[in-house]
Amino acid sequence: MTARIIDGTAIAAQIRAEVKVGVAALVAEKGVTPGLATVLVGDNTGSHKYVSMKRKACAEAGIRSFHTELPATATQAEVLALVQSLGANPDVHGILVQLPLPSQIDEAVILNAVPLEKDVDGFHPLNIGAIAMKGRNPMFAPCTPAGVIELLDRSGTKIDGADAVVLGRSNIVGMPASLLLIQRNATVTICHSRTKDIKGTCRRADILVAAIGRARYVTADMIKPGATVIDVGTNGVDDPTKPGGKRLVGDVDFEAAKEVAGAITPVPGGVGPMTIAMLIVNTLKAARRSAGLPAKAI
């Protein structure tokens, strides 16, 4: 069997187009233009690239961006004051502090200063707590895990009642992805570095989400025939034919896995493009809420 390839680039483009329509409707109905503030501290090349991609996605969707860069020597008080002023600015509906922050700054202090209703990354402990609790209404789903759920939904994978296995339990991917799958009535097993029988556990999964950051860790014999495999991992491996001598691969051995899985995401072009798409979904949600409308954005 050769798996259906879940095209994250195309699905993300579709979501971005839907957000653009939602933004135009909000402007027309309430005169409110969604605004996303990005805060960049220091000169990490990767962070600069991510922030500029996020701002470009905002511009394309009609979302206003407010960008501030502080030097790597910025103090915690300076970053805190900036985040607080953005928190008080009514034109800013979402605040994104690009991580990592320089070592002199306590990340938790800065992230806790982002008001819950502007926490479009969805990492605030109160927000994660609401996702974990039955019947609560979280403000936002964290972007990458929300992208995983969208990929499953839009590729026609049934989540309700499925056996799902999530490899990885990090705060930003594995744990929230597991909670979102439970919310959608999957039966979820979470594997991590101390799990005894990862191979056997994965083989029982109707839905396998790999988020451990180990190149091609998931081999074909770990996949149940017909399963849907979502590969969150992004790992650089040596490839002298590429500029910079590196190539991006996922946590799944894609070429072999696609002969066993029913549907699978590639790397690149799977989960990656979804993270930014879900960020602008969350920004539209935040702006709709601030205008007194139901949060549902797309």
Q: Which residues contact ligand NAP by CB under 6 A?
A: 144, 167-170, 172-174, 191-194, 198, 211-214, 232-235, 271-272, 275
Nearer to ligand NAP, 36 or 86 (CB): 36
CB of 293 to ligand NAP, least distance (A): 28
- For the chain, the first-to-last Cα distance in angstroms comes to 34
CB of 177 to ligand NAP, least distance (A): 9
Nearer to ligand NAP, 41 or 212 (CB): 212
C-alpha span between 225 and 269 (Å, rounded)? 23
Phi-psi group of 12: left, alpha or beta (phi > 0 → left; psi -120 to 50 → alpha; rest → beta)? alpha
Give the pair of three-digit tokens for residue 197: 């029988």
Instruction: Count other Cβ atoms within 10 Å, centred on residue 85.
Output: 12
CB 15, CB 150: distance < 8 Å: yes
Residue 76 falls in the annotated catalytic set? no
CB of 14 to ligand NAP, least distance (A): 17
Closest residue to bound ligand NAP by CB: 170
Nearer to ligand NAP, 86 or 188 (CB): 188
C-alpha span between 294 and 27 (Å, rounded)? 15
Residue 98 falls in the annotated catalytic set? yes
Residue 91 falls in the annotated catalytic set? no
Q: Which of 119, 121, 231, 251 is catalytic?
A: 121
Nearer to ligand NAP, 95 or 146 (CB): 146
Instruction: Choose among 263, 218, 216, 210: nearest CA to 7.
Output: 263
Please state whether beta strands 207-210 and 228-231 pair in parallel, antiparallel, or not at all (unpaired).
Answer: parallel
CB of 224 to ligand NAP, least distance (A): 18
User: What is the set of active-site residues?
Assistant: 54, 98, 121
